[in-house]
């Protein structure tokens, strides 16, 4: 069955349901918020690395806990959204994320790394529910032909969040120099207490504010009567298809892998950028100054997504995806071979070409799926676990061969995305909707 471009509504209620254009505007606020929360990890990692004196591998457990939630909670999130509908699913996701953000207050007070990881997992669980609900919802709010363009526009607001978060976090979280354990022990007892209190507050305040913002956003969404688009949920799937039914479509299977490698590469680069720019042979800059370049990295993604929204409406999404992935292969090749300003600006520029990848891969992977759309969406959100696995692998590589050379790993990820754009994303002619 074809996916409708207009919402379900009865004559009695049609006048009170907001238009798809307004619904899209509401949905984009969600993209902004989870972009902000996700990018804030790039500031949290160097802070916790210094506070707990971690190596690169252990520091990457931040992303492992965060993105691991996508893998573990995506299926429950898919069932939840199928049961509640898109709107209630979105509200639930916001409230769960608020609880996770609130967990940073006791985590900072306890000064326990594992407590931070647990809070991040809960926060990411809420974002997982949001992703499962909001990505297909935006894709289905209009014609299938412009789904990539619509998702890219929404992701541009996501990138605005990822651009602002490093500046916000750098000012509030990385504004003070973190002392080593030996330096703290050398301080008088009163100064130790004062230092630990200030250290905790640098994390507590920002995340408490975010918890309040998430709760208020849930109330805001609750006030709108959003189109239900129930035809695309599991409620409309009379055949009760499974995840395996979705994976029988090659463009879905290859799309899951593409999301895995794309998110892994993007998160790896962003997570290690502060430490990379602090290397003497690269930028030799302070961590707080490096956050400005992380912001520029995500800012490039934002610019690329606004431009990409127009480009994807004019040119074939598959070719654009492959071309952008090729550009990042070239840029990372330059980074591996260079140092100094060339490496600094090269790594920042990769953000520009990351811009269209997630929404384009996502929309291509759910193409022509009908009632299987929800199943495929859950699989694609699960694949975001690449953001847990790839950064951890790169952290292990960095501990073994050095941070600079470890960027060979994202190169391999982008090579796969070239394949997906040119070959793997094409639905089989024999594949019917729904399977």
Tens of pLDDT, residue by residue over 131-150, are 888 877 787 777 766 776 77
Within 13 Å of residue 344, how many CA atoms lie on the same side as its CB?
Answer: 19
277 neighbors 293 (Cβ within 8 angstroms)? yes
Which two tokens mark 185?
A: 């022990």
Neighbours of 10 (CB within 10 A): 7
Query: Max Cα separation, the chain?
Result: 74
Say what the pLDDT of residue 133 is: 82
Closest CA to 94 of 209, 206, 216, 203: 216
State yes or no: pLDDT of 170 exceeds 90: no
State yes or no: pLDDT of 12 exceeds 50: no
Burial class (CB in 10 A: 0-12, 13-18, 19+), 128: buried
State yes or no: pLDDT of 4 exceeds 50: no
Give residue for tokens 């209009």. 142
Give residue for tokens 């998160």. 267
Q: Give the relative orientation of helices 250-277 and 287-314 as an angle to the nearest 10 degrees.
A: 150
Which two tokens mark 67?
A: 């993105």
pLDDT band at 274 (very low <50, low <70, confident <90, very high): confident
Mean per-residue pLDDT, 166-183:
69
Burial 251-274 (b: 16+ CB within 10 A, else e): bbbbbbbbbbbbbbbbbbbbbbbb
Whole-angstrom distance, CA of residue 53 vs CA of residue 179? 9
Neighbours of 409 (CB within 10 A): 21
Mean per-residue pLDDT, 44-73:
85
Whole-angstrom distance, CA of residue 183 vs CA of residue 196? 12
215 neighbors 33 (Cβ within 8 angstroms)? no
Q: How far is CA 21 from CA 89, 347, 367, 429, in A?
A: 20, 36, 21, 32
Q: Give the relative orientation of helices 147-172 and 287-314 as an angle to the nearest 10 degrees.
A: 170
State yes or no: pLDDT of 124 exceeds 90: yes
DSSP label at residue 78: H
pTM of the model: 0.74
381 neighbors 131 (Cβ within 8 angstroms)? yes
Which two tokens mark 107?
A: 């985590």
pLDDT band at 24 (very low <50, low <70, confident <90, very high): confident
Q: Rounded to an integer, what is the distance from CA 79 to the centroid of its chain?
A: 21
Say what the pLDDT of residue 2 is: 33
Q: State the average pLDDT for the chain.
A: 81
Say what the pLDDT of residue 177 is: 61
User: Which pLDDT tens digit goes with each residue over 200-238?
Assistant: 667 888 888 899 999 998 988 888 776 665 544 455 554
CATH 1.20.1250.20, applies to 20-424: yes
pLDDT band at 196 (very low <50, low <70, confident <90, very high): low
Closest CA to 41 of 238, 206, 220: 206
State yes or no: pLDDT of 14 exceeds 50: no
State yes or no: pLDDT of 420 exceeds 90: yes
Say what the pLDDT of residue 328 is: 96
Q: Rounded to an integer, what is the distance from CA 410 to the centroid of its chain?
A: 16
Q: Rounded to an integer, what is the distance from CA 53 to the centroid of its chain?
A: 26
Mean per-residue pLDDT, 59-80:
87
More confident residue, 192 or 286: 286
Whole-angstrom distance, CA of residue 397 vs CA of residue 386? 16
State yes or no: pLDDT of 431 exceeds 80: no
Mean per-residue pLDDT, 178-184:
60
Closest CA to 354 of 291, 304, 287: 304
State yes or no: pLDDT of 323 exceeds 50: yes
Whole-angstrom distance, CA of residue 256 vs CA of residue 251? 9
Within 13 Å of residue 7, how many CA atoms lie on the same side as its CB?
Answer: 25
Name the least confident of 47-56, 312-321, 402-411: 47-56
Name the least confident of 23-32, 366-375, 423-432: 423-432
More confident residue, 302 or 175: 302
Whole-angstrom distance, CA of residue 256 vs CA of residue 369? 14
More confident residue, 228 or 107: 107
């Amino acid at each position: 069955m074809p996916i409708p471009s207009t919402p379900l509504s009865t004559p009695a209620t049609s006048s009170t349901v907001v238009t798809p254009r307004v619904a899209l505007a509401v949905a984009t606020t969600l993209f902004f918020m989870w972009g902000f929360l996700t990018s804030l990890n790039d500031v949290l990692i160097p802070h916790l690395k210094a506070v707990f004196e971690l190596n690169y591998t252990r520091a990457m457990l931040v992303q492992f806990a965060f993105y691991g939630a996508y893998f573990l909670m995506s299926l429950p999130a898919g069932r939840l959204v199928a049961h509640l509908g898109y709107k209630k699913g979105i509200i639930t996701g916001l409230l769960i994320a608020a609880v996770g953000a609130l967990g940073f207050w006791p985590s900072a007070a306890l000064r326990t790394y594992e407590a931070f990881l647990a809070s991040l997992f809960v926060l990411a669980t809420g974002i997982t529910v949001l992703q499962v609900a909001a990505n297909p919802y935006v894709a289905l709010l209009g014609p299938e032909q412009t789904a990539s363009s619509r998702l890219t526009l929404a992701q541009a607001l996501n990138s605005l969040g990822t651009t602002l978060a490093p500046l916000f976090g750098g000012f509030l979280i990385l504004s003070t120099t973190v002392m080593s354990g030996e330096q703290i022990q050398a301080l008088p007892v009163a100064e130790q207490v004062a230092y630990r209190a200030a250290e905790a507050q640098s994390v507590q305040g920002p995340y408490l504010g975010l918890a309040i913002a998430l709760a208020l956003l849930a109330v805001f969404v609750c006030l709108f009567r959003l189109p239900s688009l129930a035809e695309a949920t599991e409620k409309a799937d009379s055949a009760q298809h499974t995840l395996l039914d979705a994976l029988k479509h090659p463009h879905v299977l290859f799309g899951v892998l593409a999301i895995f490698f794309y998110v892994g590469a993007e998160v790896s680069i962003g997570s290690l950028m502060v430490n990379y720019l602090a290397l003497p042979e690269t930028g030799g800059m302070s961590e707080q100054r490096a956050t400005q370049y992380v912001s520029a990295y995500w800012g490039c993604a934002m610019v690329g997504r606004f431009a990409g929204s127009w480009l994807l409406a004019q040119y074939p999404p598959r070719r654009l995806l492959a071309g952008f992935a090729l550009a990042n292969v070239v840029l990372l090749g330059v980074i591996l071979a260079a140092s100094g300003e060339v490496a600094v600006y090269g790594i920042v520029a990769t953000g520009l070409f990351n811009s269209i990848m997630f929404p384009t891969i996502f929309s291509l992977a759910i193409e022509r799926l009908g009632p299987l759309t929800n199943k495929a969406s859950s699989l694609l959100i699960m694949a975001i676990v690449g953001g847990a696995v790839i950064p951890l692998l790169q952290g292990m590589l960095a501990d073994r061969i050095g941070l600079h050379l470890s960027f060979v790993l994202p190169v391999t990820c982008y090579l796969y995305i070239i394949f997906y754009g040119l070959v793997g994303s094409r639905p089989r002619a024999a594949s019917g909707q729904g399977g």
